[in-house]
Amino acid sequence: MSDSLILKFDPNTIEHLGVSLYSKLPSVLSELLSNSWDADANIVTISFAELEDEKEIVYEDDGEGMTFEELNNKYLVIGRNRRSDTQRQYSALGRPVIGKKGLGKLSVFGICDEIEVISIKEGKRNHFTMNLQEIKESRGNEYSPELLAFDEPTSAKSGTKIILKKIRRKSGFNLDEIALSLSKKFIIFSEMNTKIIKNGDIDSEIHVTNDLKYQTLNKEFSWEFPDEKFDPEYSHWNQMKGSVISLKTPVKDTEMRGIYLTSRGKIVNVASFYGARDNDQFHNYVTGYLEVDFIDDFEDDVISTDRHSLNWEHEETRALQTYLQKIIKVIGKEWRERRAKVKLEAVEKEHKVGLEKWKSELPTFERNLGERIINPILENSNIDVGESAELIGSVMDKFDNQAYKEYASSIADLSESAEDIPKLLRLMDEWKSIESKQYRDLAISRVEVIKQFENYVNTNTKEVPTLHNFLKKFSWLLDPRILEFRDEVTYSKLLEESYPESNLEEKDRRIDFLCSNALGEILYVIEIKRSNYRVDEKALEQAYDYASFLKDRYASHTGFSKVVCYVVGGSKSDERRFRDKEKTYAGSGEVFVKTYRELLEQSKEYHKEFIEAYDQHNG
């Protein structure tokens, strides 16, 4: 037996299948791990050293090792298909063999210029080095590695150590990132204990596990395989193992979005959706691994060299792709239903929205319509619980309106899928486009109110109760924002509400009525005079006194941030002091003086613009 080692190769092979194909550290390490798995290793240790001038990686396993003959006839043979050449589909201990093409040994030269190999088997130790530059410069397509030990007797256990030297890498070794990347590439770590360490520091040691890739994921739902519900007609459905999981929040690591495929414990296709529609929100929330070992039994080799993707041009892989699309479709549908159920429970519990009770009281047709509108809200992951509760509450509030139901039905009919929900929500949020028609009808009816008000003004109505009741009923004449009323109240009653034990020093004085705006932030005090009353300085000061008193003793304790007083009369005084004070009080937003004529013109102008705008918009 010759005591020299020979590497036979084509120079282009070294460049294209070593340096170019394996330029990233995790890919190189994954090839070494595959070899350790096939060698029945139980423990793998990868030590990273960051020296002053260079970096080094020491890879060591306790596998069966290689004899000198095996090193020469197997390890140093480029492109040897270990499965077909030896008919070896399983390792000595029964593991399904991962390595196939015989190219992994070149991977190390993708990141370094020199390697040292030490292998022990059957009590003999063999040790040699290989240099990339020397390989490239060798002649006759043969290279003789430098042999440092030949069948040297040893009592050490079997195993292989590979030292990567002269590493072409400027950045340091991030063990967390390396461990995570390796965890993504395999599902074998429950059977092969793998740990990585840096600079010999035991505190830096990380164990690479199958679950490491899932540790930071906020899991919500999962689907286990095999399961015939996806398509029992697919011939390999019961051979597919694994699980698909969805998260509560989008998968941050975009590389993990989708479903990985593995064969014999190693990925053969990176995370993907295999041609399923890619605009589904579901795609942002799902990851998982499915074992498709049966593809190794296909007549043709469908696994690419870099193991990033299968060859989908074969009849058998196209059938697999169709099955995967069905899986994604079914899981996507169930995911939306499960998410909707969880969100509904939160909406009803946290926001007291009685949706189920509301739906149960609707006629069948309206219940179906309600579900068609509301389900997309619950299923949309971009809408949180709070916003969902608000939107659903809005739907429930407006559902009695026939125009709204007709509009919602049309939108639901036009929506091809739940993915159209943003359009639906925008249209629902812009309910004003529907309300505009109703507001136009409302505005027209208000014209009649304005005409009646104009009649009161023109006829110089003397009775305060007449004007009082009219403005109370149609408060929008004063200010469109005014909403609620507290009619005919006194200071005593107000203070009794806020300060039950307070003793009033002020005289019991009458206010025509109190009201608030739509947001409940402003308290309005309304003083109504007869239509022939001239508002003077005394009336202005009295109004200011009202506002000041209420602001000090009442408003701040009941949620109002501001008190505004209106004095309504037939005309305004011409006195200089009145004009100055009116301007000052109006500027501060505390007291406003309005004549009935001003209110009339203000209301007519406001509704005139509204009607004209609507007519122009819908011309």
Structural contact between residues 24 and 7, judged by C-beta atoms closer than 8 angstroms: no
pLDDT in tens, 444-463: 666 667 777 777 777 766 55
Structural contact between residues 549 and 507, judged by C-beta atoms closer than 8 angstroms: no
How many whole angstroms separate alpha carbon 35 and alpha carbon 316? Answer: 28
- The rounded percent of the chain whose pLDDT value lies above 70 is 78
Q: Is 121 exposed, middle or buried (0-12, 13-18, 19+ CB in 10 A)?
A: buried
One-letter identity of residue 74: K
Other CB atoms closer than 10 Å to residue 505's CB: what's the count?
A: 5
pLDDT in tens, 507-518: 445 566 677 665
Q: Which residue has the higher pLDDT, 52 or 581?
A: 581
Q: pLDDT value at position 495? A: 45
Q: Provide the CATH number for the domain formed by 7-208 in this structure.
A: 3.30.565.10
How many whole angstroms separate alpha carbon 203 and alpha carbon 200? Answer: 9
How far is residue 331 from each of residues 77, 255, 256, 286, 306, measured CA to CA in Å? 45, 20, 17, 9, 29
Query: Which residue is listed with tokens 């209301």?
Result: 603
Tokens matching residue 71: 């090193």
Show the 3-state SS of 241-267.
EEEEEEECCCCCCHHHCEEEEEECCEE
| Chain-centre distance for alpha carbon 115 | 45
- The rounded percent of the chain whose pLDDT value lies above 90 is 45
Scored b (16 or more CB within 10 A) or e, 1-29 reads eeeebebebeeeebeebbbebbeebbbbb
Q: pLDDT value at position 415? A: 57
How many whole angstroms separate alpha carbon 469 and alpha carbon 152? Answer: 113
Q: pLDDT value at position 504? A: 43
Scored b (16 or more CB within 10 A) or e, 525-554 reads bbbbbbbebebbbebbebbbebbebbbebb
Q: pLDDT value at position 449? A: 76
pLDDT in tens, 53-84: 889 999 999 999 999 999 998 888 876 655 55
Question: Is 252's pLDDT higher than 50?
Answer: yes
Q: Which residue has the higher pLDDT, 101 or 107?
A: 107
How many whole angstroms separate alpha carbon 9 and alpha carbon 230? Answer: 47
Structural contact between residues 514 and 523, judged by C-beta atoms closer than 8 angstroms: yes
Instruction: Give, to the nearest 10 degrees, the angle between helix 421-429 and helix 385-398.
Output: 60
Instruction: Give, to the nearest 10 degrees, the angle between helix 385-398 and helix 364-379.
Output: 160
Question: Is 30's pLDDT higher than 80?
Answer: yes
Q: Which of these, 370, 346, 350, 347, lies nearest to 358 by C-alpha position? A: 370
How many whole angstroms separate alpha carbon 94 and alpha carbon 264? Answer: 12
Structural contact between residues 3 and 150, judged by C-beta atoms closer than 8 angstroms: yes
- What's the mean pLDDT in 254-258? 95
Looking only at the bridges linking them, the beta strands covering 43-50 and 124-131 are: unpaired
| Domain-wise residue ranges, the chain | 7-208, 216-332, 351-430, 437-607
Provide the pLDDT confidence category of residue 492 given band limits of 50, 70 and 90.
very low
Q: pLDDT value at position 508? A: 43
pLDDT in tens, 558-612: 667 788 888 988 899 999 999 999 999 999 988 999 988 888 888 777 767 655 6
Tokens matching residue 19: 């340096």
pLDDT in tens, 426-440: 555 555 555 555 665
- Kind plus residue range of the DSSP H or E element containing 515: strand 513-517
Q: Which residue has the higher pLDDT, 304 or 156?
A: 156
pLDDT in tens, 313-329: 999 999 999 999 999 99
Q: pLDDT value at position 17? A: 57
Tokens matching residue 595: 């004549």
Q: List strands edge to edge, sheet with 591-595.
A: 482-487, 513-517, 522-528, 562-569, 591-595
How many whole angstroms separate alpha carbon 467 and alpha carbon 530? Answer: 8
Q: Is 607 exposed, middle or buried (0-12, 13-18, 19+ CB in 10 A)?
A: buried
| Total-model pTM | 0.65
Question: Is 486's pLDDT higher than 50?
Answer: yes
How many whole angstroms separate alpha carbon 402 and alpha carbon 366? Answer: 11
Q: Provide the CATH number for the domain formed by 437-607 in this structure.
A: 3.40.1350.10
Q: What share of the chain is helix, strand, coil (3-state, %, to 5)?
A: 45, 25, 30
- What's the mean pLDDT in 465-494? 66
Query: Is the torsion defined by CA of 388, 391, 392, 393 positive or negative?
Result: positive
**Most confident option among 1-10, 94-103, 259-268, 501-510:** 259-268
Tokens matching residue 309: 């993707």
How many whole angstroms separate alpha carbon 305 and alpha carbon 310? Answer: 10
- What's the mean pLDDT in 398-422? 67
pLDDT in tens, 330-374: 999 999 999 989 988 888 888 787 888 888 888 888 888 888 888
How many whole angstroms separate alpha carbon 470 and alpha carbon 456? Answer: 10
Show the 3-state SS of 133-199.
HHHHHCCCCEECCEEEEEEEECCCCCEEEEEEEEECCCCCCCHHHHHHHHHHHECCCCCCEEEEEEC
Question: Is 118's pLDDT higher than 90?
Answer: yes
